Chains A and B, each alone.
Chain A
Amino acid sequence: MNILVTNNPLCKGRLGNLYDVRFSEVSALEILKCARGFVHLGHSLITHPTAGGLPPGHSPYKSIVITAEATTPNLAFINAIEHTIAQYEKSTRPEPKEHLEDFAALDFALVCK
């Protein structure tokens, strides 16, 4: 079963049959950093870290699917996650406080297939 790293409360209770859900109440950036840890250990990215059509810092929620198995670290995955983190770190946008349900629904839809 693949691992889902997420801070989205919608994913918490509803995706247990699909993924090994690792939920924590942290920022989207912290979720990316958590996924980066896995990728450097050789886990593969299953979903793209910037998925969702929203610029970095616009959505408070982030869900990323990675493989349970680890092999040799893959440079393309490392580049993708590092680039995404760099973009998030540059974003100065304060975390949104409105439309939280909309953000959660969009993020959930990206990984619920």
Chain B
Amino acid sequence: MKLEVGYIDIKDVQFSDTSKVAAGVLYVEAEAVRKLVLEDARIADIQLDIARPGESVRIAPVKDVIEPRCKVGSDLEIFPGMLGKVKTVGNGRTHVLRGSAVVTCGAIVGFQEGIIDMSGPGAAYTPFSETNNLVLIFTPKKDLPQHEYEQALRMAGFKVAVYLGDLGREVTPDCVETYETYGMLKAKEMYPDLPRVGYVQMLQTQGLLHDTYVYGVDMKNSLTTMINPTEVMDGAIVSGNCVSACDKNTTYHHQNNPVIKDLFAKHGKELIFAGMIITNENVFLMDKERSSDWTAKLCAIMEFDGVVITQEGFGNPDTDLMMNCKKVEAVGVPTVIVTDEYAGRDGTSQSLADVDIAANAVVTGGNANEVITLPKMDKVIGSLAEVDVIAGGFENNTLADGSIVVELQAIIGATNELGFSRHSAR
């Protein structure tokens, strides 16, 4: 499969009478967006705001972040099976409004959404302090059940992202990158001496408000399967979950998965990016056994020389991670796993809920329990009412000067387990 991605660099987002992209500025007609969102009768009201890099702005409680993209010159659509037609994506051409994002905001279950700071010490912990964000703040209809609120908010975010993404259809991109994968035999023929490296992505699927969708299918009901990495860039995988903010993969993370990007960068040079497996993280132990058995089986069938395994979430997914790791190693395929840590505020506790001797190459996204003080911001978009109950917050954590003390858990993407951050250790 071959995907051309044209990046249109967006340097600012502004409200305007008409929606358009011109000279690197994304102009948004607020009324058009409002109308689009309010088509869903479950949403009583929607407010729009803009947050730019460097501003003294705190956004909370954030549910999802989505990058506006569109398919160009074909009948393919972004978010297939979810919003668009279910046709296989990952081929053809895609335009990206790089540097912009749609941020959905609303207290769905009160305790599992996160914070984005656009400046100050918290900004360094979230990639979305560097994007020009159109923030959607939802008010649901009274007594709307949580799972319906989640669905309404999720779909509204995609709708707005597609609406904005379409504005880039006729715009000439600032740069174009091409990503191409080959079948097993052809790749081996082309690069006979390079190792075949695979990628296993674990997707959060623990049930109500913890789900991830692939072509519109709730991944918890799927067997472990394969996907072409370019499909993921076109929105084949979307987030529907409200797990701890620090290590949930937002839809933006999926669209810009750094493991995929880095494997492509070495593809044909140091290695063959030989395939991608997606698996789930279920609650019942039998499901965990089945899914990890299938992960190992597919790795063996694909004859990978090595795989990278990434996790999403923490706690019981650590068990899925270890099962995947040791079973894949047992079929003779070396693994590198990417996870994060819940090692206590002082960092001395056991980092993962489950461990195995086979996990001997581990990359961490950081310690989610580390405490950070976030100074008061001039403006809050959304509400800070939930900031003491969100995962990573605690009682009375607002100080007299208006600053708040939280664990990194509370910040969107702070310890991302795809490695989507700039943090490192010495």
- B is bound to A: yes
Residues of A within 8 A of B (CB): 45-55, 58, 65, 80, 83-84, 87, 90, 93-94, 96, 98-99, 102-103, 105-106, 108-111, 113
CB B355 to nearest CB in A, in angstroms, measures: 10
* Given pairs A55-B244, A99-B111, A109-B209, 18 additional interface contacts (CB within 8 A): A46-B284, A46-B285, A47-B283, A48-B283, A49-B316, A52-B206, A52-B315, A53-B241, A53-B243, A53-B313, A54-B112, A54-B315, A83-B353, A90-B349, A98-B110, A106-B209, A110-B207, A110-B208
Specify which of A49, A53, A93 is in contact with B210 (CB 8 Å cutoff).
A53
Residue of A nearest to B320 (CB): A48
Q: How many A-B residue pairs have CB under 8 A?
A: 93
Residue with the greatest number of chain B CB neighbours at <10 A, chosen from A53, A98, A105, A113: A53
CB A10 to nearest CB in B, in angstroms, measures: 12
Determine if B378 is an interface residue (Cβ-Cβ < 8 Å): no
A53 near B244: Cβ-Cβ < 8 Å: yes
CB A59 to nearest CB in B, in angstroms, measures: 9
Residue of B nearest to A109 (CB): B208
Specify which of B206, B241, B394 is in contact with A93 (CB 8 Å cutoff).
B394
Specify which of B109, B208, B284 is in contact with A47 (CB 8 Å cutoff).
B284
Those of B82-116 within 8 Å (CB) of chain A: 109-112
Residue of B nearest to A53 (CB): B243
Residues in A with CB closer than 8 Å to B354 are 80, 83
B208 near A105: Cβ-Cβ < 8 Å: yes
What secondary structure prevails in chain B residues at the interface with A? Answer: loop
Specify which of B243, B316, B409 is in contact with A50 (CB 8 Å cutoff).
B316
Residues in B with CB closer than 8 Å to A83 are 350, 353-354
Determine if B288 is an interface residue (Cβ-Cβ < 8 Å): yes
Residues in B with CB closer than 8 Å to A47 are 283-285
Q: How many of chain B's residues touch chain A, expressed as a range?
A: 35 or more
Residues in A with CB closer than 8 Å to B314 are 53, 55
B389 near A98: Cβ-Cβ < 8 Å: yes
Residues of B within 8 A of A (CB): 109-112, 146, 204, 206-210, 241, 243-244, 283-286, 288, 313-316, 319, 342, 344, 349-350, 353-354, 389, 391, 394-395, 409
Residues in A with CB closer than 8 Å to B353 are 50, 83-84, 87
Residues in B with CB closer than 8 Å to A54 are 111-112, 244, 315, 391
Residues in A with CB closer than 8 Å to B349 are 90
Residues in A with CB closer than 8 Å to B344 are 90
Complex: how many Å from CA A84 to CA B350?
A: 12
Q: Sample 23 A-B pairs with CB under 8 A, ordered by A number.
A: A47-B285, A50-B316, A50-B353, A51-B206, A51-B283, A52-B315, A53-B206, A53-B241, A53-B315, A54-B315, A55-B391, A65-B284, A96-B389, A98-B110, A98-B389, A99-B110, A99-B111, A105-B146, A106-B207, A109-B207, A109-B208, A109-B209, A110-B208
B285 near A55: Cβ-Cβ < 8 Å: no
B319 near A80: Cβ-Cβ < 8 Å: yes
B110 near A55: Cβ-Cβ < 8 Å: no
CB A4 to nearest CB in B, in angstroms, measures: 13
Specify which of A51, A65, A87, A99 is in contact with B389 (CB 8 Å cutoff).
A99
Complex: how many Å from CA A45 to CA B110?
A: 30
B395 near A53: Cβ-Cβ < 8 Å: no
Complex: how many Å from CA A94 to CA B319?
A: 27
Residue with the greatest number of chain A CB neighbours at <10 A, chosen from B241, B319, B344, B394: B319
Residues in B with CB closer than 8 Å to A108 are 208
Complex: how many Å from CA A1 to CA B79?
A: 41
CB B252 to nearest CB in A, in angstroms, measures: 19
Q: A53-B243, A106-B209 are in contact. Are A48 and B286 (CB under 8 A)?
A: no
